[in-house]
Amino acid sequence: MSILVDSTTRLLCQGITGANGSFHAHQMIQYGTRLVAGVTPGKGGSCFAERIPIYDTVSAAVAETGANTSIIFVPAQFAADAILEAAESDIALIVAITEGIPVLDMVRVKHHLNSLGTLLIGPNCPGIITPPVCKVGIMPASIHTPGRVGVVSRSGTLTYEAVAQLTALGIGQSTCIGIGGDPVTGMNFVDILQLFEGDAGTDAVVLIGEIGGNTEEQAAEFIRDQMTKPVVAFVAGQTAPPEKRMGHAGAIISRGRGTAADKIRALEAAGVVVASTPAEIGATVKRVLDG
């Protein structure tokens, strides 16, 4: 079992002929993902990797290939329109890898997606993977192994670190998701936790947060009130100075709110076991699973 992507996912890649889109499209195909189409305006009628058709529009790609998921490698200035084009073409899940999309663009996108019911992961994220059947993103495939622990993170790099530790300890993953750390994103911690809670193939969840915003506190409320599965967490930015942005655009402490200490207190009060350092994430999960 898994959430959001699996062997039935039919993926199209927007921006497939660009350097990043082309490189990662090859990697996803190699992993076994069913990449059925590419979209690059003006390149319609050509092929990628000699067999995957490229279309000028998402609507044409969906009509001819039945694509139900899209991954976005479009430059930041055009990415919002690319996301909206996918949503309006009945794509159910959009994964936006692009970083640097203007915040006001994402406010407009999120409002429109809410009215359509389309799911968005990202932007500025590594994507999502269900080992070993489907990778929709840029994460290194070799560190993942199939299993029953879900992973959701605001940090791409810490996602890889946590997964590598789990795999080294013989703990496989059901689905791993990087939701992105921008101020305005698509799916949040609560959205993903709800799916993991309902997934029969997930026994426990690793949640990796960071300073800024209040999504970790919202997750703590959901875990306290509705989550029956154990959750292990780590919160990055414990030594970050106030009013300084650390890494992600959303990772800033302002007016004393959004600190790591606040988030850790909320999570621990909800019954979450919080690892004190990144190096302890895997061992903490193992200890919780072993009881």
Tens of pLDDT, residues 133-176: 999 999 999 999 999 999 999 988 999 999 999 999 999 999 99
Q: What's the pTM?
A: 0.92
* 179 in the same domain as 53: no
* 266 in the same domain as 190: yes
Number of structural domains, the chain?
Answer: 2
Which residue segment(s) compose the domain that 66 sits in? Answer: 11-121
What is the spatial distance between Cα 185 and Cα 183, in angstroms, rounded to a whole number? 7
51-69 average pLDDT score? 98
* 144 in the same domain as 285: yes
* 86 in the same domain as 43: yes
Split at pLDDT 50, 70, 90, the class of 256 is very low
The answer to whether residue 158 sits within a structural domain is yes
Percent pLDDT > 90 in the chain is 85
Strand partners, 204: 149
* 279 in the same domain as 191: yes
Query: Which residue, chain included where needed, has tokens 């496989």?
Result: 172
Q: Of 24, 26, 111, 248, which residue is the catalytic one?
A: 248
Helical spans, DSSP H, in 66-203: 76-88, 103-116, 156-168, 189-197
Tens of pLDDT, residues 228-255: 999 999 998 776 665 555 555 554 444 4
Cα-based distances in Å from 24 to 140, 148, 239: 10, 26, 34
Side chain identity, residue 280? E
CB neighbours (10 Å) of residue 1? 12
Residue 112 has pLDDT above 70, yes or no: yes
* 155 in the same domain as 198: yes
Query: Which pLDDT score, from 0 to 100, does residue 258 have?
Result: 73
Identify the three-state secondary structure at position 177.
strand
Establish whether 248 is a catalytic residue.
Answer: yes
